[in-house]
Structure 1
Amino acid sequence: MTAVLVAAGAFLTTLIGGIVAQRTGDRRHLVLGFAAGLMLGVVAFDLLPEALNSAPQELHGVPQALLMFAGGFLAIHVVERAVAIHRGHEGEYAAHTHGQGHAHGARQGVGLAAAGALVGHSLLDGFAIGAAFQAGGSVGTAVAVAVVAHDFADGFNTYTVTRMYGNNRVRAVALLAADALAPVTGAAITLLFAIPEHTLGLYLGFFAGFLLYLATSDILPEAHSPHPSRTTLLCTLLGVGFMWLVVGYAD
C-alpha cells in the first residue's frame, strides 16, 4: 500500500508537467529543446542501464536489450518513412493540414503511439515502485524519488508529443490524464503480480530506441527550425543535466 501512496506523488507531478507544457505559448522552441534533453537523459541514464541490467543475455555477441533498442529506433523510423510523413514547422500547436488526409492521419497516429508508449512507461514506473518496495524500504524510496521527479518530464512530453503531431487538445489532455493515472495503476497491480525481469528489460530497451528517435529525428529539428538559437541548445543541455541529477540522486 505504501507503493500506491508514493505513486500518487507521480500522478501529481505528471499533471504538473502537462500543465506546464500547455502554457508555453511562443516559447515552444525552448520547451521542445528542453523536452528533447529530458528524453535523451531518460534514455541514457535510466532506460538503457535498467534494460541492460534486466536483460543482459547476448544474442550473437550483442545484449538482447541493445538489440531491442535498435529495433525500437528502426521500428518508428520505418513507420514514418512508410507513410511518407511530411514534417511541418508551424509556430503554434495546431492540426497540420496536408494535401493527403491519409498522411495527416498517419502522422497523428505516430503522435498517439508515442504518447501511448509514454503511458506504458509510466505504468512500468508504477511497477518499478511496487517492486522496489517489495525489495526493501530504502530501495523503494530511491526508486520513488527518481520516478516522481521524472514523471514531470513524462507528463510534459506526453502533452507535447501528442500536440506536436497534429492531435487536438482534447486528445492530448486525455492522454495526459492516462499518463498521470498509469503509475498508480502499475503500483496497485504489483500487489497481485510482477512482470518477469527479462521481459521488462526487453521492453525498456525497445522503448529507449523509440524515445531516442523521437528526440533526435523529430523534436530537436522541430525545436531549432523556427528559432535556431543558443538558448534552445542550452535548454536541451539543461534537460539532459536535470535527468542526470535526478538519476544520480536516486542512486
Structure 2
Amino acid sequence: MAVFVALGAFLMTLAGGWTAHRVTDRRHLVLGLAGGLMLGVVGLELLPESLAAVGAEFHGVPVALLLFVAGFLLAHLVERLLAHRQAAHGAEESGARVPGAGRAPEAVRTPEVGLAAAAAMVGHSAMDGVAIGAAFQIGAEMGAAVAVAVIAHDFADGFNTYTLTRVYGNARRRALVMLGAGAVAPVAGAASTSLFTLPEPLLGGYLGLFGGALLHLAAAGILPEAHHAHPARSTLLCTIAGVLFIWLVVSAAH
C-alpha cells in the first residue's frame, strides 16, 4: 500500500518539474514562487515536524534547532568553498550567465552547488517515501494523513529540484536527470520501509538539518536571483503565494 501511494508522489514530482521546465520567459516569477515554496516548506512543515520528532535539548536549546542552524551554516560553507574554487579557475572573468536572467550573482555561477542542492532534494524525497512507509506501519489512518501531505508538497519538491539545478548554471539535461531521480526517490523510500523501522528522533534530526540548508538556498540563492534582473512587485507576490500554498497544504493535512 505504501509503495502504491508513493506513486502519487512520483507523478506530482514530475508535474512540478515539468511546470518549472516549461516556464522560461517569466523566469523571475518562477524563482520567486520557488523561493516562497521553499520558505513555506521549511517554516511550516520541516521545522515543526523536526521539533516534534526530536524533542531533546542540548544546553537548553532544542536539538532540532541546533541541527537547523548547523544545516544553514553547512550550506553556506559549501557554497563559499565551491564559489571560491570556481573563482580561482577564472569564473569571475568568464561572466557566465543563467539563461533568461541578467548577470548572475556569484552563488549562481557554481553548478556544483546546484547539483548538491538537487541531490539534497532527492534525499528529502526519499525520506518522504520513508515517512509514508513508516506511517503505514503505525496504521492506515496515519499513513493516509502523511501521504496527503507528502503528495501535495511533492509538486513543490519537483519544481524546486529542477529550478535549483538550473539556477546555479547546470544544463537542462542535468536538471531533468535530477528531476527523474527526485520522482523515483519517494517510491524507493517507501519500498525500503519493508526492510527496517526508522527511529522517529533520527528522522526529526534529518528534517531539521535539511530545513536549515534549504532555507539558506532560498534566502541566499533563489530569492536574490529572482529579484536581480526583475525586481518587480509580481515577483514578490509569487513568493508570498508560494508560502500561502504550503500553508494551505499543511492546514489541509492537519
Distance 1:15 1:70 in 2: 30
**Aligned counterpart in structure 2 of residue 234 of structure 1, from 209, 232, 237:** 237
The residue that corresponds to 1:132 in the other structure is 135
Range moving further from structure 2, 84-93 or 25-34: 84-93
Code of the aligned partner of 1:55: V
Deviation at 1:89, TM superposition (A): 6.2
SS in structure 2 at match of 1:238: helix
Distance 2:39 2:96 in 1: 23
Q: CA RMSD in A?
A: 2.2
Distance 1:93 1:12 in 2: 29
Deviation at 1:188, TM superposition (A): 0.5
The residue that corresponds to 1:50 in the other structure is 49
With over 3 angstroms needed to count, the CA separation of the structure-2 counterparts of 1:148 and 1:238, relative to structure 1, is same
Distance 1:80 1:135 in 2: 39
Distance 1:210 1:66 in 2: 12
The residue that corresponds to 1:81 in the other structure is 80
Distance 1:155 1:93 in 2: 21
The residue that corresponds to 1:214 in the other structure is 217
Could you report, residue by residue, the CA deviation over 1:105-132 in whole angstroms, capped at 9, with x for unpaired residues?
xx11111110000000000100111111
Could you report, residue by residue, the CA deviation over 1:8-47 in whole angstroms, capped at 9, with x for unpaired residues?
0000010011111011111010010001110011001110
Q: Is the Cα–Cα contact under 8 Å of residues 55 and 197 in structure 1 kept in the other structure?
A: yes
**Aligned counterpart in structure 2 of residue 153 of structure 1, from 118, 140, 156:** 156
SS in structure 2 at match of 1:195: coil
The residue that corresponds to 1:62 in the other structure is 61
Distance 2:24 2:97 in 1: 15
The residue that corresponds to 1:108 in the other structure is 111
Could you report, residue by residue, the CA deviation over 1:35-66 in whole angstroms, capped at 9, with x for unpaired residues?
11100110011100111111111111111111
Code of the aligned partner of 1:35: A
Q: Does 1:92 align with 2:100?
A: yes
The residue that corresponds to 1:178 in the other structure is 181
- For structure 2, the residue ranges without an aligned partner over 5 or more in a row are 85-91
Q: Is the Cα–Cα contact under 8 Å of residues 119 and 182 in structure 1 kept in the other structure?
A: yes
Identity fraction in percent: 61
Deviation at 1:191, TM superposition (A): 1.2
Which structure 2 residues correspond to residues 12-27 of structure 1 after superposition, within 5 A?
12-27=11-26
Distance 2:239 2:203 in 1: 28
The residue that corresponds to 2:208 in the other structure is 205
Code of the aligned partner of 1:190: T
Q: Is the Cα–Cα contact under 8 Å of residues 89 and 226 in structure 1 kept in the other structure?
A: no
Could you report, residue by residue, the CA deviation over 1:40-98 in whole angstroms, capped at 9, with x for unpaired residues?
1100111001111111111111111110100010111112223345797645279x7x9
Q: Does 1:72 align with 2:71?
A: yes
Range moving further from structure 2, 74-83 or 10-19: 74-83
Output the TM-score relative to the length of structure 1: 0.92
Code of the aligned partner of 1:229: A
Distance 2:48 2:13 in 1: 23
Distance 2:221 2:244 in 1: 21
Q: Is the Cα–Cα contact under 8 Å of residues 37 and 240 in structure 1 kept in the other structure?
A: yes
Q: Is the Cα–Cα contact under 8 Å of residues 93 and 164 in structure 1 kept in the other structure?
A: no
Question: How many corresponding residue pairs?
Answer: 244
SS in structure 2 at match of 1:26: coil
Code of the aligned partner of 2:129: G
Q: Does 1:190 align with 2:197?
A: no
SS in structure 1 at match of 2:229: coil
The residue that corresponds to 2:31 in the other structure is 32
